[in-house]
Chains A and B, each alone.
Chain A
């Protein structure tokens, strides 16, 4: 099977991408949204007399709210500020009315810094709990296939693949955050969790086939090599893995294009993550089974 045979090439691709992601996060960090950092966003639209950007930004600058103004759509602005109090919000709106005339508030959102750091903590906690639950579940689900690779290792390999799936979208968001100002919010974390779920789902389907073929092989005493069995299993599930990912990616592409601003970066994170997840289930997770088995053999022969 070409996938298992050429596994080193596929590992290399993944390692390069994962390292690149790691480096971009290390250099630029993530551009955290107000859900995590605390802060305020005021989005306003003007009916027919939209003022210039600098009129808006200069009018509220004296209030000292660390405000930045950017265009939102064709008829409005988005103003980001530090976390502001109710009184400060009223004065921003008044100042804005005086300087720019009538407008409507499309959206206002203010999150205190305490709430923000709590959201960050919860997000990290849930990521780790999902990872842990998955290892345990896989160890349990594959408990009957401990030869030649123990079921616990199936779980560990899944985790390696999952880290890969989470690293890559995070890296892309670090790059986009630096160059495009794309922010990471709680929905991004949700997207990562879904990617975890989806990727495990995918990996399990392939592992399940390995489990079935191993059993079949032993019952019929074919004594095929583990490498061959894994290779065949990947081949047999290849069409299914690709097709399920395709239908999901279709849905996501549609969502990305037509789903509106509110879920755009969410669908982008999912698109990247699910692509990475599909890749890792086919090209990383199963070949890793073979690699692990080879290591074990080497150790034994020593």
Chain B
């Protein structure tokens, strides 16, 4: 009796989970909607950028720290895009002394690579230059400038400020200690002169120095619009990258392509499930029905895990999952074939089922162990995130299938009545009888 309650419970849990998975995906409200599927770039559309970092000029042993600093800078820039769930990862490749560092940026939903590359790679250059007053200045000539040595390097921080009288946005900058001294010296020596502020080689503001400025602060009133001022502040603050980076790989998937791939994946998953179910029921009869229920449980458990972990699903991941449907029933097939053999030897149904499970266990354990080994190696040596996603789905599938095809199937099989009349035995024998 106990086993029947347990079996009913299993099916109930499966049904509830299945309903939850379905609800969370298609209705989009309530508690379960907190767990959406996480779709990879190839399904959702988006941009994938890989940068190679030039760490050759760094002192030995500092590469890791530098890469983390680089990641932080890029992450902050990327976060300002307003992209949902961007990811910025440092990858280390190569062995021994020839290590390469790479930065991988994934921007779901962003399909404008120009804009993405520009925003990520942009390092603004801020310079202060004096107008050369010694040169004969006729009004029509463009004035010539003298470098002061004061530039963005001496910046402590930048912030958006507003002109107290006009309310126009300005960019306030604050120098660090060295910059403060330099700024004071320049302003002291050049009262009455013009100190032009250059951004990326363009003069954006040309204020006249009224007096020595000791507190190390300045305002740039370049006639900004508010968003411009914000962007400049951001770029100044997160300014220089700690190492030079070079774009080595880009990938963009349009949203329509992603949708088509996803639909194709879901569609073939459903059809594959139906085909496998028909085969199992035709060949294994009543145990086949049990296996189909177990397979449904397998699907539901896996989908729930994909949501909870969460696993980023890619086209290859979905393919791996569909493939695993075929493999997941292997344990069932092993057990049922064994049960059938024992029945043919004249054992009672109860004993035959028992033997079937007991004897099939060794092969299930060994064969699944080898599959798990493959999945783990695949995961660690994956050269792309696509392969990693596949390996994760595949490995997870093998583990879940051991539960559904053994524990769940056994529970349900034992819950069935085990009478030894002819008809009932027929329902348990399978395929062709020799």
Of residues 102 to 121 in A, which have CB atoms within 8 Å of B's CB atoms? 104-112, 114-115, 118-119
Decide: A270 and B252 in contact? CB cutoff 8 A: no
Given A35-B384, A134-B373, A254-B271, check contact A201 B368 (CB 8 Å).
yes
Q: Are A107 and B254 in contact (CB under 8 A)?
A: yes
Interface flag for A49 (CB, 8 Å):
no
The complex places the Cα of A106 from the Cα of B259 at a distance, in Å, of 11
Contact A126 B377 (CB under 8 A): yes
CB contact list, A157-190 vs B, under 8 A = 186-187, 189-190
Question: Is A114's CB under 8 angstroms from B52's CB?
Answer: yes
Interface of A is mostly: helix
**Which residues on B sit within 8 Å (CB–CB) of A137?**
369-370, 373
- Residues in B307-343 with C-beta less than 8 Å from chain A: 315-316, 318-320, 322-323, 325-327, 329-330, 333-334, 337, 341
A259 to B314, CA, bound (A): 13
Of the 9-residue stretches A22-30, A55-63, A243-251, which lies at the interface with chain B?
A243-251
Q: Across the A-B interface, how many residue pairs have beta carbons closer than 8 Å?
A: 219
A122 to B368, CA, bound (A): 24
Chain B residues near A129 (CB-CB < 8 A): 377, 381
Distance between Cα atoms of A202 and B319 in the complex (Å): 20
Q: Is B280 an interface residue (CB 8 A)?
A: yes
Set of chain A residues within 8 Å of B431, measured between Cβ atoms: 239
Interface contact B384-A247, CB-CB below 8 Å: no
Contact with A along B401-412 (1 / 0, CB 8 A): 000000000000
Specify the main secondary structure of chain B where it touches its partner: helix
Question: Which residues from B are CB-within-8-Å of A262?
Answer: 42, 261, 264, 315
Answer yes or no: A125 CB below 8 A from chain B CBs. Answer: yes
Of the candidates B267, B315, B369, the one whose C-beta lies within 8 Å of that of A263 is B315
- Given A186-B387, A255-B319, CB of A90 within 8 Å of CB of B114: yes
Determine the chain B residues whose CB is within 8 A of the CB of A123 once the complex forms: 383
Contact at B322–A187, with CB atoms within 8 Å? no
Hey, which chain B residues are within 8 Å of A258, CB to CB?
A: 264, 267-268, 271
**B374 engages A197 (CB within 8 Å):** yes
Q: Which of these, B52, B279, B368, B370, contacts A247 with CB under 8 Å?
A: B279
Q: Which 7 A-B pairs have the closest CB atoms?
A: A248-B326, A260-B264, A197-B374, A126-B381, A112-B248, A251-B326, A258-B268
Chain B residues proximal to chain A, CB less than 8 Å:
42, 50, 52, 93-94, 100, 111, 113-114, 117, 247-254, 256-257, 260-261, 263-265, 267-268, 271-272, 275-276, 279-280, 283, 315-316, 318-320, 322-323, 325-327, 329-330, 333-334, 337, 341, 359, 362-363, 366-371, 373-375, 377-378, 381-384, 386-387, 390-391, 394, 431
Contact surface of A with B, Cβ cutoff 8 Å? 35, 43, 85-86, 89-90, 104-112, 114-115, 118-119, 122-123, 125-126, 129-130, 133-134, 137-138, 141, 186-187, 189-190, 193-194, 196-198, 200-202, 204-205, 208-209, 211-212, 236-237, 239-240, 243-244, 246-252, 254-255, 257-263, 266-267, 270
With A250-B276, A251-B326 given, name 19 new contacts (CB 8 A). A89-B250, A90-B114, A109-B249, A109-B252, A114-B100, A133-B373, A134-B370, A141-B366, A190-B378, A197-B375, A201-B330, A201-B367, A205-B367, A212-B359, A250-B279, A254-B322, A257-B268, A266-B319, A267-B319
